[in-house]
Amino acid sequence: MKNALSEGLDNTDSPCPAFCFQDVNKLYPSRDGLNVEALRNINFEVSRREFVTVVGPSGCGKSTLLKILAGITDATSGRVEINGVLQQGPSVEIGVVFQSPVLLPWRNILENVLVPAEIQKRDKKQSKDKAYELLNMVGLNGFETKYPKELSGGMQQRVGIARALINDPSILLMDEPFGALDAMTRESMNMELLRLKESIGATIMLVTHSIPEAIFLGDRVVVMSPRPGCVEEIMTIDLPEKRELSIINSEKFGAYDSHIRHALNSKVGLD
Protein backbone atom coordinates (compact mmCIF):
# COMPACT_ATOMS: atom_id res chain seq x y z
CA MET A 1 0.00 0.00 0.00
CA LYS A 2 1.39 3.40 -0.98
CA ASN A 3 1.20 6.37 1.36
CA ALA A 4 2.53 9.79 0.41
CA LEU A 5 1.65 11.77 3.52
CA SER A 6 4.11 14.56 2.93
CA GLU A 7 4.22 14.75 -0.85
CA GLY A 8 3.96 18.27 -2.16
CA LEU A 9 3.10 19.80 1.23
CA ASP A 10 4.44 22.96 2.81
CA ASN A 11 4.03 23.15 6.56
CA THR A 12 6.45 26.03 7.09
CA ASP A 13 3.59 28.36 8.12
CA SER A 14 2.24 26.00 10.77
CA PRO A 15 3.78 23.92 13.56
CA CYS A 16 1.14 21.20 13.16
CA PRO A 17 -1.30 19.90 10.55
CA ALA A 18 -4.90 21.07 10.46
CA PHE A 19 -5.93 17.55 11.42
CA CYS A 20 -4.60 14.02 11.47
CA PHE A 21 -5.77 10.44 11.87
CA GLN A 22 -3.55 8.06 13.83
CA ASP A 23 -4.35 4.32 13.70
CA VAL A 24 -8.09 5.00 13.55
CA ASN A 25 -10.44 2.02 13.50
CA LYS A 26 -14.23 1.85 13.57
CA LEU A 27 -16.41 -1.16 14.40
CA TYR A 28 -20.21 -1.13 14.38
CA PRO A 29 -21.84 -3.68 16.72
CA SER A 30 -24.60 -5.85 15.29
CA ARG A 31 -27.37 -7.87 16.87
CA ASP A 32 -25.91 -11.15 15.69
CA GLY A 33 -22.69 -10.42 17.59
CA LEU A 34 -20.62 -10.14 14.43
CA ASN A 35 -19.21 -6.60 14.42
CA VAL A 36 -19.08 -4.72 11.13
CA GLU A 37 -15.61 -3.33 10.52
CA ALA A 38 -16.07 0.02 8.77
CA LEU A 39 -12.54 1.48 8.98
CA ARG A 40 -9.17 -0.14 9.54
CA ASN A 41 -5.88 1.49 10.50
CA ILE A 42 -6.47 4.97 9.02
CA ASN A 43 -3.33 7.13 9.08
CA PHE A 44 -2.92 10.45 7.29
CA GLU A 45 -2.63 14.14 7.99
CA VAL A 46 -3.80 17.27 6.20
CA SER A 47 -2.03 20.62 6.17
CA ARG A 48 -3.68 23.96 6.80
CA ARG A 49 -5.50 25.40 3.77
CA GLU A 50 -5.12 22.14 1.87
CA PHE A 51 -8.06 20.77 -0.11
CA VAL A 52 -8.16 16.99 0.23
CA THR A 53 -10.75 14.76 -1.39
CA VAL A 54 -11.60 11.22 -0.28
CA VAL A 55 -12.82 8.79 -2.92
CA GLY A 56 -13.85 5.15 -2.76
CA PRO A 57 -16.71 2.74 -3.49
CA SER A 58 -20.03 2.92 -1.69
CA GLY A 59 -19.86 1.47 1.82
CA CYS A 60 -16.09 1.90 2.21
CA GLY A 61 -16.40 4.17 5.26
CA LYS A 62 -15.82 7.59 3.64
CA SER A 63 -18.72 9.26 5.42
CA THR A 64 -17.86 7.48 8.68
CA LEU A 65 -14.35 8.92 8.47
CA LEU A 66 -15.78 12.42 8.04
CA LYS A 67 -18.22 11.97 10.93
CA ILE A 68 -15.39 10.85 13.22
CA LEU A 69 -13.41 13.97 12.33
CA ALA A 70 -16.50 16.13 12.89
CA GLY A 71 -17.06 14.56 16.30
CA ILE A 72 -20.47 13.24 15.28
CA THR A 73 -19.43 9.64 15.99
CA ASP A 74 -16.51 8.14 17.90
CA ALA A 75 -13.68 5.99 16.60
CA THR A 76 -13.49 2.55 18.18
CA SER A 77 -9.75 3.03 18.61
CA GLY A 78 -7.01 5.37 17.49
CA ARG A 79 -6.49 9.11 17.79
CA VAL A 80 -7.76 12.17 15.91
CA GLU A 81 -6.09 15.55 16.38
CA ILE A 82 -7.40 18.95 15.27
CA ASN A 83 -4.80 21.71 15.15
CA GLY A 84 -2.58 19.58 17.38
CA VAL A 85 -5.27 18.98 20.03
CA LEU A 86 -7.00 15.67 20.73
CA GLN A 87 -10.48 15.68 19.20
CA GLN A 88 -13.11 15.12 21.89
CA GLY A 89 -16.44 15.74 20.18
CA PRO A 90 -17.95 18.47 17.98
CA SER A 91 -15.76 21.55 17.65
CA VAL A 92 -16.39 25.16 16.62
CA GLU A 93 -13.23 24.74 14.52
CA ILE A 94 -15.22 22.54 12.13
CA GLY A 95 -18.07 23.30 9.75
CA VAL A 96 -19.94 20.46 8.06
CA VAL A 97 -21.88 20.36 4.77
CA PHE A 98 -24.01 17.22 4.52
CA GLN A 99 -25.29 15.28 1.51
CA SER A 100 -28.62 17.06 1.93
CA PRO A 101 -28.68 20.70 3.06
CA VAL A 102 -31.35 19.88 5.70
CA LEU A 103 -32.76 23.40 5.79
CA LEU A 104 -35.56 24.37 8.19
CA PRO A 105 -38.60 24.99 5.94
CA TRP A 106 -40.24 27.48 8.34
CA ARG A 107 -37.17 29.74 8.38
CA ASN A 108 -36.07 31.96 5.52
CA ILE A 109 -32.61 31.65 3.97
CA LEU A 110 -30.96 34.25 6.21
CA GLU A 111 -32.45 32.65 9.31
CA ASN A 112 -31.26 29.20 8.21
CA VAL A 113 -27.69 30.44 7.82
CA LEU A 114 -27.81 31.95 11.31
CA VAL A 115 -28.78 28.70 13.10
CA PRO A 116 -25.21 27.71 14.18
CA ALA A 117 -24.48 31.25 15.37
CA GLU A 118 -27.64 31.20 17.48
CA ILE A 119 -26.66 27.86 19.00
CA GLN A 120 -23.24 29.27 19.88
CA LYS A 121 -24.94 32.43 21.24
CA ARG A 122 -22.78 34.70 19.10
CA ASP A 123 -23.34 38.43 18.74
CA LYS A 124 -26.55 38.85 16.74
CA LYS A 125 -25.55 41.88 14.70
CA GLN A 126 -22.09 40.57 13.84
CA SER A 127 -23.55 37.19 12.89
CA LYS A 128 -26.22 38.79 10.71
CA ASP A 129 -23.62 40.90 8.92
CA LYS A 130 -21.53 37.76 8.41
CA ALA A 131 -24.54 35.87 7.05
CA TYR A 132 -25.20 38.58 4.45
CA GLU A 133 -21.52 38.47 3.47
CA LEU A 134 -21.55 34.69 3.09
CA LEU A 135 -24.76 34.62 1.06
CA ASN A 136 -23.22 37.16 -1.27
CA MET A 137 -20.07 35.02 -1.46
CA VAL A 138 -22.03 31.93 -2.53
CA GLY A 139 -24.06 33.88 -5.09
CA LEU A 140 -27.33 34.22 -3.16
CA ASN A 141 -27.42 37.95 -2.64
CA GLY A 142 -31.07 39.02 -2.78
CA PHE A 143 -32.43 35.63 -1.67
CA GLU A 144 -32.19 36.30 2.08
CA THR A 145 -35.97 36.46 2.62
CA LYS A 146 -36.81 33.49 0.38
CA TYR A 147 -37.70 30.10 1.83
CA PRO A 148 -36.04 26.73 1.06
CA LYS A 149 -38.94 25.52 -1.10
CA GLU A 150 -38.40 28.52 -3.39
CA LEU A 151 -34.80 27.54 -4.17
CA SER A 152 -33.36 24.91 -6.52
CA GLY A 153 -31.30 22.01 -5.18
CA GLY A 154 -28.04 23.71 -6.06
CA MET A 155 -29.11 26.94 -4.38
CA GLN A 156 -30.16 25.07 -1.25
CA GLN A 157 -26.74 23.46 -1.09
CA ARG A 158 -25.15 26.91 -1.31
CA VAL A 159 -27.19 27.87 1.74
CA GLY A 160 -25.80 24.79 3.49
CA ILE A 161 -22.25 25.91 2.68
CA ALA A 162 -22.92 29.44 3.97
CA ARG A 163 -24.41 28.00 7.16
CA ALA A 164 -21.33 25.81 7.69
CA LEU A 165 -19.11 28.90 7.43
CA ILE A 166 -21.07 31.25 9.69
CA ASN A 167 -18.89 30.56 12.75
CA ASP A 168 -15.61 31.00 10.80
CA PRO A 169 -14.40 27.38 11.08
CA SER A 170 -10.80 26.65 10.19
CA ILE A 171 -11.86 23.28 8.74
CA LEU A 172 -14.72 22.63 6.31
CA LEU A 173 -15.95 19.05 5.88
CA MET A 174 -18.20 18.12 2.97
CA ASP A 175 -19.99 14.78 2.72
CA GLU A 176 -20.86 14.17 -0.95
CA PRO A 177 -22.58 17.59 -1.06
CA PHE A 178 -23.32 17.52 -4.80
CA GLY A 179 -24.26 13.87 -5.24
CA ALA A 180 -27.98 14.56 -5.70
CA LEU A 181 -27.49 17.31 -8.29
CA ASP A 182 -27.68 16.93 -12.07
CA ALA A 183 -24.37 16.84 -13.95
CA MET A 184 -24.40 20.45 -15.15
CA THR A 185 -25.33 21.87 -11.75
CA ARG A 186 -22.70 19.67 -10.12
CA GLU A 187 -20.00 21.02 -12.43
CA SER A 188 -21.13 24.56 -11.68
CA MET A 189 -20.97 23.89 -7.94
CA ASN A 190 -17.48 22.45 -8.30
CA MET A 191 -16.33 25.67 -9.93
CA GLU A 192 -18.02 27.70 -7.20
CA LEU A 193 -16.31 25.60 -4.53
CA LEU A 194 -12.87 26.25 -6.02
CA ARG A 195 -13.64 29.97 -6.07
CA LEU A 196 -14.85 29.78 -2.48
CA LYS A 197 -11.68 27.97 -1.43
CA GLU A 198 -9.64 31.01 -2.42
CA SER A 199 -11.94 33.31 -0.46
CA ILE A 200 -12.24 31.53 2.89
CA GLY A 201 -8.74 30.15 3.40
CA ALA A 202 -10.05 27.09 5.28
CA THR A 203 -8.78 23.52 5.18
CA ILE A 204 -11.28 21.42 3.23
CA MET A 205 -11.95 17.68 3.15
CA LEU A 206 -14.60 16.54 0.67
CA VAL A 207 -15.91 12.98 0.49
CA THR A 208 -17.14 11.77 -2.91
CA HIS A 209 -17.75 8.61 -4.92
CA SER A 210 -16.85 10.47 -8.11
CA ILE A 211 -13.26 10.01 -9.28
CA PRO A 212 -13.35 13.01 -11.68
CA GLU A 213 -14.74 15.26 -8.95
CA ALA A 214 -12.05 14.11 -6.51
CA ILE A 215 -9.28 14.89 -9.01
CA PHE A 216 -10.74 18.19 -10.18
CA LEU A 217 -11.14 19.62 -6.67
CA GLY A 218 -8.32 18.09 -4.69
CA ASP A 219 -4.75 19.10 -3.94
CA ARG A 220 -4.47 15.45 -2.92
CA VAL A 221 -6.80 12.49 -3.32
CA VAL A 222 -7.14 9.88 -0.57
CA VAL A 223 -8.11 6.61 -2.26
CA MET A 224 -9.96 4.16 -0.01
CA SER A 225 -10.43 0.44 -0.46
CA PRO A 226 -13.77 -1.41 -0.19
CA ARG A 227 -14.95 -2.19 3.35
CA PRO A 228 -13.26 -2.34 5.72
CA GLY A 229 -12.07 1.04 4.50
CA CYS A 230 -8.31 1.40 4.37
CA VAL A 231 -6.17 4.11 2.81
CA GLU A 232 -5.14 2.45 -0.44
CA GLU A 233 -3.10 5.40 -1.70
CA ILE A 234 -2.70 9.15 -1.27
CA MET A 235 -2.06 10.88 -4.57
CA THR A 236 -0.78 14.43 -5.02
CA ILE A 237 -2.62 16.16 -7.89
CA ASP A 238 -0.22 18.22 -9.99
CA LEU A 239 -2.70 20.40 -11.85
CA PRO A 240 -2.89 24.22 -12.03
CA GLU A 241 -4.29 25.82 -8.88
CA LYS A 242 -6.80 27.77 -10.97
CA ARG A 243 -8.72 25.04 -12.78
CA GLU A 244 -11.25 25.18 -15.57
CA LEU A 245 -13.64 22.39 -16.53
CA SER A 246 -11.73 21.86 -19.78
CA ILE A 247 -8.85 20.36 -17.78
CA ILE A 248 -10.97 17.21 -17.38
CA ASN A 249 -10.19 16.44 -21.03
CA SER A 250 -6.41 16.77 -20.59
CA GLU A 251 -4.02 13.84 -20.83
CA LYS A 252 -2.71 14.37 -17.30
CA PHE A 253 -6.23 14.38 -15.84
CA GLY A 254 -6.98 11.17 -17.71
CA ALA A 255 -3.82 9.57 -16.33
CA TYR A 256 -4.86 10.41 -12.76
CA ASP A 257 -8.32 8.99 -13.43
CA SER A 258 -6.91 5.75 -14.83
CA HIS A 259 -4.45 5.39 -11.96
CA ILE A 260 -7.13 5.78 -9.30
CA ARG A 261 -9.46 3.34 -11.06
CA HIS A 262 -6.63 0.85 -11.19
CA ALA A 263 -5.94 1.37 -7.47
CA LEU A 264 -9.57 0.61 -6.78
CA ASN A 265 -9.46 -2.45 -9.03
CA SER A 266 -12.47 -0.98 -10.80
CA LYS A 267 -13.12 -2.01 -14.39
CA VAL A 268 -16.36 -0.07 -14.69
CA GLY A 269 -15.65 3.07 -12.63
CA LEU A 270 -17.43 4.81 -9.83
CA ASP A 271 -19.09 7.67 -11.68
**pLDDT digits over 156-171, tens only?**
999 999 999 999 899 9
Q: Measured between alpha carbons, how far is 69 from 267 in angstroms, rounded to an integer?
A: 31
113 domain-assigned: no
Query: Around 27, how many Cα atoms within 13 Å sit in the side-chain half-sphere?
Result: 8
CATH of the domain at 204: 3.40.50.300
Q: Tell me the CA distances in angstroms from 175 to 68, 96, 161, 246, one per residue in order.
A: 12, 8, 11, 25
Each residue's pLDDT tens digit, 54-107: 999 888 999 999 999 999 999 999 999 999 999 888 888 899 998 888 899 999
75 domain-assigned: yes
How many Cβ atoms sit within 10 Å of the Cβ of residue 112? 25
Average pLDDT for 6-12? 37
44 domain-assigned: yes
Q: Tell me the CA distances in angstroms from 207 to 19, 129, 219, one per residue in order.
A: 15, 30, 13
Residue 257 has pLDDT above 90, yes or no: yes
Q: How many domains are contained in the chain?
A: 1
**pLDDT score for 14:** 52
187 domain-assigned: yes
pLDDT bin (cut points 50, 70, 90) of residue 264 is confident
Which residue segment(s) compose the domain that 219 sits in?
A: 19-93+169-263
139 domain-assigned: no
104 domain-assigned: no
Average pLDDT for 193-197? 86
**pLDDT score for 32:** 80
Residue 215 has pLDDT above 80, yes or no: yes
The residue ranking higher by pLDDT, 99 or 51, is: 51
140 domain-assigned: no
78 domain-assigned: yes
pLDDT bin (cut points 50, 70, 90) of residue 12 is very low
pTM of the predicted protein model? 0.86
Question: Residue 29, class by beta-carbon neighbours within 10 Å (0-12 exposed, 13-18 middle, 19+ buried)?
Answer: exposed
